[in-house]
Amino acid sequence: MVTSPKCYLVCVFVFHGPIKMPSFLLLLFFLLKSLCLFCFQVLEREQIMNKYHEVTAKLEQALSGISYESLDISDEVKEQVENC
């Protein structure tokens, strides 16, 4: 169904009360809101990924100080680890 530019929808805002808004502006508002939520999720994902890399680097550094001899690991397992 195609709506004309004269078609208005009523939006209710908390501070301003009922406001008549053209349907295309309402659609634009919802698209912008969706875009903002998407951008927030991307930034949040990047922060989580950066934290994961930071923790992984610290864990690798901590584990690198432990020698194989002190862990009583078989020679076969040592070879597999060294080949990775």
- Residue spans of the domains in the chain: they are 8-83
Q: Closest Cα partner for 27 from 41, 38, 11? A: 11
Q: What is the pTM of this model?
A: 0.47
Mean pLDDT of 20-45: 85
Kindly report, residue by residue over 53-70, the tens digit of the pLDDT.
999 999 999 888 877 677
Rounded Cα distance between 62 and 59, Å, is 5
Above 80 in pLDDT, residue 5?
Answer: no
Instruction: Look at 3-7, 20-24, 35-39 and tell me which has the smallest mean pLDDT.
Output: 3-7
